[in-house]
Structure 1
Amino acid sequence: MAEVVHGTRELAGESSRELPRVISVDDHVIEPAHLFQTWLPAKYRDKGPKPFTAGIGELEYVGGKYRFTTDPDGQITDWWEYEGEFFPYKRIIAAVGFSRDEMTLDGITREQMRRGCWDPKARLEDMEMNHVEASLCFPTFPRFCGQTFAEAKDKEVGLACVRAYNDWMVEEWCGDSGGRLIPLCLIPLWDIDLAVAEIHRNAARGVRAVTFSEIPTYLGLPSIHSGYWDPFFAACEETGTVVNMHIGSSSQMPAASPDAPPAVQASLSFNNAMASMMDFLFSGVLVKFPRLKLAYSEGQMGWIPYALERADDVWEEHRAWGGVKDLIPEPPSTYYYRQIFCCFFRDRHGIEAIDTVGVDNATFETDYPHVDSTWPHTKRVAAEHVAGLSDEVTYKLLRGNAIRMLDLPFDR
C-alpha cells in the first residue's frame, strides 16, 4: 500500500469528530483498452488509437520530458499506438497499491494495476475505502487537456477521438456511478468553433467540467490575451462549465538545469499553476466574463497568498507602465476570490494561511492513482490538515466548495 507522508500519529480530539466525505476534484483514469474500438465510429477505427502489449526499453528523463522505446526483451507493458507514436503506461501513473520504493518509471500492464485505475465499479469500491464520495478524473493517454489529439496530423480523426473519449467518459466511466464519478471532457484545441460546439454538446447532457491548458502558448496555441479563446470562455460561462487546468497541461513541467533529476521538476510542479493564474488575473478575461470559473488542479495552494499580494502590489505601484491600468479596474485578487478555485492534498502551509487562500476557494483532491495519491489514507491525511479548523470551514474544504464549483447534486 502507498505510504502516508505525514505519518500515523493520533490526532487529539479528532477521534470523536466525523469528517464529511471528500469530493476529490483531481483524480485520474487509465483508459480501458476497448475505449476507441467501442466508442470511435467504425470508419475511423483503422486510423484511431490502438492498444497493444509489448516489452519496454529504457525510460529517460531529459529536459523535463520522458523518452522511451519498445524492446522485445523488456518488461511487458500496455501501450497505445496513434499515428506512429507510442505511449506506454508507467507505474508512477498507476501507483496505488505499490510501496513507495516500487513507484518507479517502469512500464505496467492493466492487469498489474489496481483494477480501480481503469474499471469504474472497482473505482467506486476504492473510493468507499478512501472516504471519498465523488471524483473528477483527468485523462491519461490523451494527456491532461487532450494534447495527443491536438497534435494529430489527421484532424478529422482527432475530432472523432475527442468526441469518442467524451462519450466514453459521460456514458461509460460516469454513467452508472449515480453521479459519484463526475464527467470531465476534452475540447478540440485546434479549432475554436469546434471547441465551442463541444462545450454545448456536453453541457446539454449535464457536463459541467472541461479540461484546458494552463499555458496554451506552450502548445503552439494562441494566448489567453489574444481574444482567440473568448468564444470558448463565453460558452463555458453560459453553460456553467468549469475550466480545469492541471499541472502539466501545457506539455511542459518546470525544470531548472536541463540535466536536473526528476525530483526538481516534482518540487516545482506548482510553478506553472502560479504562472497561469497571473496570466489570467492580468488578462482581462475574468473582467470580461465575470461568471467564468477556473480551477487549478494539483497546483497546491501555499504559494497563493504571496502571489496575490504581489499581483495587487504590481497593479497599484506599477500601473504607469504595467500595461493593465485600463484593463483591470480592480485589484487582481478581487477576481481570484470571485472566480478561481485551487486544490490541495498535502499543504500544511496553505492551511495555515487558509483565510488568505480563501475558505471559499480551496478544494481537496486525492490524486488517485498517481504516485502522490493519499489513497487509501485520505481520511487520516485530511484530518491532519483540518485539525483546529471549524466544522464549517472543514466542510467547505473537503466537499462544499467542490459542490458549489461544479454545481453537483449533493448536500450543500
Structure 2
Amino acid sequence: METFPRIISVDDHTVEPPQVWRDRLPSKYRDTAPRIVRAPLKDLTFLGGRFAPVMGAPGDEGPLGDWWVYEDLRRPLTRLDTAVGCTRDEIKLEVITYEQMRPGSYSVPERLADMDLNHVQSALCFPTFPRFCGQTFTEAKDRELALLAVRAYNDWMVEEWCGPKARGRLIPLTLVPLWDAGLAAAEVRRNADRGVRAVAFSEIPPFLGLPSIHGDGWDPFLRACDETGTVIAMHIGSSSKMPSTSADAPPAVGSTITFANCCFSMVDWLLSGKFERFPGLRIMYAEGQIGWIPYILERADTVWEENRAWGGVAEKVLRPPSELFAGHVYGCFFDDAFGLRNLDAIGAGNVLYETDYPHSDSTWPRSREVGEAQMGHLPDEVVERIVRGNAIEVLGLTAEGLWAGAGGGAGA
C-alpha cells in the first residue's frame, strides 16, 4: 500500500514516575506507600519464570538502581522494563535508574516524540510497578491503602499520563481492586464516567489466589464492564505465572511460549458461559500474538459439538465457541507473520496491532516497517482495520483515533 496507516498500539507500557503515589495519597502513608529508593543490587535471578531481586543495604557493593519500596516489597527498575534505544546485546537483566532509561518511558512529551518516530498516533499503556493487572496491590497486607493506591494510579493515568499534554494520543487503561468484585465494579464505573473504556484484568485469576471466571464471583465486575462498554485487557504475565517447563529453565524458554497463558485463558472464557450472560462483554489479549488462535477455535468447536453433554457446558454455552470468539475476543500482535498468513481463520475484525514500547520485544522504531512487511499481502482496507480501525471501535476513540476524555481529543 502507498501509505501505511498511522498505528494505534493497544499494548505499550508506562514506567511510573516516582511521584505517582507520593503526590496522591494522604501524608500518613508517606512511609508505607509506594516510593522510590536508590540502592545497590545484592542478587538477581530469573529462572523458571520467577523474578527474584535482592536489595542491598546502604554501603553494600553492587550496581545502583532505583527500587520501588512498598510494605515488604523491594522491586527494582530493570533494563527489561525499558529497553528501547539499546542494542540486543545491551539488553540484560540488570537494575537501572531513571537516568539510565529512555525518557519516553515515563515522560509524556518524550513519549509522544518517540511515538512520532515510530509512526504511532495513539497508544494504550499497561503499568510497570503495579504489574500488568495490579497484582502488587492485590498482594498487599493493608487493603485500605491498597485501594487508595489503585485509585491514585487511575487518577494519575487519566488526569496526567492521558491528560491534556497527551492531546488525546495516550489512551487510559485503569486498574481495579481485584480482591473485591464489588469494589472492582465501582472502580470500572467511576472511570467509565470520565471516558475510560479499558480495564486491566488477570488472564488466569486462580493463579493469583482469586476465583475463576467459571463461577459467579466476578459477575458484578463483568456486569459493570458489559454495561459501560469497557473492554477487559489481559496482558501475558497478568497471572504472575509466566509459562515455563522447570525451575531451572532459562528465560528464553518462557519467552518462546508466552502465548500459552492466553491460550488457556481464552478457552476458559469461551467455555464459561459469560458471553451468553453478558452479551456486550469484550476481552483482548495483549502481547499474546495470534498465530495459535485458529487451531484452538477448531478444537473448541469440536469439543463443544461432540462432548458438550458430558463436558459441563451444554446448558451455558449455546453457540459454537468460534462464534463467541468472533463477537467478543481480540487477539493482539506486534510480530506474527504466520498469524497474518492465516487471518481468514481468525477474522480481520478480531485483530489489533501493538508495538510493546519500551520493552525488549518492542518493534520500535520499526513498527511501520514490520507491519508493511507482514501485511503486504492484505488489502488496504484490511490493513487499515487491523492497524487502527478495530482499536477505534473497541476503545471508543474518535474517528481520528484519539481519546476524547479528560481534556484529550485535541489535534494530534
TM-score bucket (shorter structure): over 0.9
Given residue 365 of structure 2, which amino acid in structure 1 is its aligned partner? P
2:121 match: secondary structure? strand
User: Which residue does the alignment assign to 2:246?
Assistant: 257
In structure 1, what is the equivalent of residue 159 of structure 2?
A: 171
Structure-to-structure mapping, 1:204-219, within 5 angstroms = 204-219=193-208
Give the letter for the 1:395 counterpart. Answer: E
**Separation (CA, whole Å) in 2 of partners of 1:340 and 1:192:** 22
TM-score relative to the length of structure 1:
0.95
Q: Say which SS state the counterpart of residue 172 (structure 1) adopts.
A: helix
Which residue in the other structure is 2:404 paired with? none
Q: After the TM superposition, which residues 385-400 of structure 1 pair with which residues of structure 2 at under 5 Å, given as runs?
A: 385-400=374-389
Question: Conserved in 1, the CA contact under 8 Å of 2:41 and 2:63?
Answer: yes
Opposite residue 34 of structure 1, the aligned amino acid is: Q
1:309 correspondence with 2:274: no
List aligned pairs for 1:12-411, cutoff 5 A. Answer: 17-71=2-56, 72-176=60-164, 177-411=166-400
Task: Identify unmatched segments of 5+ residues in structure 1.
Answer: 1-13
Counterpart code for 1:292: L
- 1:106: Cα distance to partner? 0.6
What runs of 5+ residues in structure 2 fail to find an aligned partner? 402-412
Equivalent position amino acid for 1:63 in 2: G
CA shift digits 1:268-321 (9 cap, x unpaired): 100000000000000000111111110111000000000000000000111231
State how far apart, in whole Å, the 1-side matches of 2:302 and 2:124 are: 35
2:24 and 2:373 map into 1 onto residues whose CA distance is 42
Q: Which amino acid aligns with 1:123?
A: R
1:45 offset after TM fit, Å?
2.8
Q: Residue type of the partner of 1:24?
A: S
Higher mean C-alpha displacement, 287-296 vs 46-55: 46-55
In structure 1, C-alpha distance between the alignment counterparts of 2:389 and 2:97, rounded to whole Å: 36
Deviation (angstroms), 1:70: 1.9
Report the CA distance between 1:257 and its aligned residue. 2.1
Q: Deviations over 1:373-409 (max 9, x none)?
A: 0111111111111101101000011000111110111
Corresponding residue number in structure 1 for 2:409: none
- Further displaced range: 253-262 or 37-46: 37-46
CA distance in 1, matches of 2:309, 2:20: 54
- 2:168 and 2:248 mapped to 1: Cα distance? 44
Q: Shift in Å at residue 411 of structure 1?
A: 3.3
**Is the contact between residue 34 and residue 69 of structure 2 (CA under 8 Å) also seen in structure 1?**
yes
Percent of aligned pairs with the same residue? 54
Q: Deviations over 1:226-255 (max 9, x none)?
A: 111011011001111110000000000011
2:48, 2:250 within 8 Å by CA — same for their partners in 1?
Answer: no
Aligned 8 A contact 1:36 1:45 in 2: no
Question: CA shift at 1:73, angstroms?
Answer: 1.4
How far has the Cα of 1:265 moved from its partner?
0.3
Per-residue deviation, residues 320-353 of structure 1 (Å, max 9, x unmatched): 3111112111101111000111111110110001
SS in 2 for 1:39: coil
Which amino acid letter does the alignment assign opposite residue 83 of structure 2? A
TM-superposed CA distance for 1:62, in Å, is 3.0
SS at match of 2:308: coil
Structure 2: distance between partners of 1:364 and 1:76: 36
The code of the aligned residue for 1:89 comes to L
